[in-house]
């Protein structure tokens, strides 16, 4: 896969969604129709800080390479070369996964 040459605009993060495991802990394989939209992804690029309507700076909550959890219906989907990506607003990031 070639490297994406995209830089998000202020206040946005480019995320590659990571599909959820289709097998339950007990070994049951879930059908595709049961799957929900992914809410976890890898940060590919981060836009510059955003200036809010009140004039405050909103800095990115994560950095390139982080794995994040984001709001279920957050983000704008784009398809590039057959692969789906999301542009998610800074405030739609719920958590950043920490290394063990």
3-state secondary structure the chain: CCCCCCCCCCCEEEEEECCCCCECCCCCECCHHHCCCCCEEEEEEECCCEECCCCCEECCCCCCCCEEEECCCCCEEEEECCEEEEEEEHHHEEEECCCC
Q: Residue 19 — pLDDT band, cuts 50, 70, 90?
A: confident
If you classify domain 12-96 with CATH, what class do you get? Answer: mainly beta
- Kindly state the average pLDDT of the residues 32-57: 85
Find which of 29-33, 35-39, 78-82 is predicted with most confidence, using mean pLDDT. Answer: 78-82
| pTM exceeds 0.85, yes or no | no
Between CA 68 and CA 29 the distance in angstroms is 25
pLDDT in tens, 73-95: 888 999 988 999 999 999 999 99
Mean pLDDT of the chain: 86
């Amino acid at each position: 896969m070639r490297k994406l040459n995209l830089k998000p605009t202020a206040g946005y993060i480019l995320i590659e969604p990571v599909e959820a495991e289709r097998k339950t802990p007990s070994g049951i394989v879930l059908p595709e129709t049961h799957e929900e939209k992914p809410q976890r992804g890898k940060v590919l690029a981060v836009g510059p800080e955003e200036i809010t309507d009140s004039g405050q700076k909103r800095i990115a909550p994560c950095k390139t390479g982080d794995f994040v959890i984001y709001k279920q219906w957050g983000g704008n989907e784009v398809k590039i070369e057959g692969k789906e990506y999301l542009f998610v607003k800074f405030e739609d990031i719920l958590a950043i996964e920490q290394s063990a």
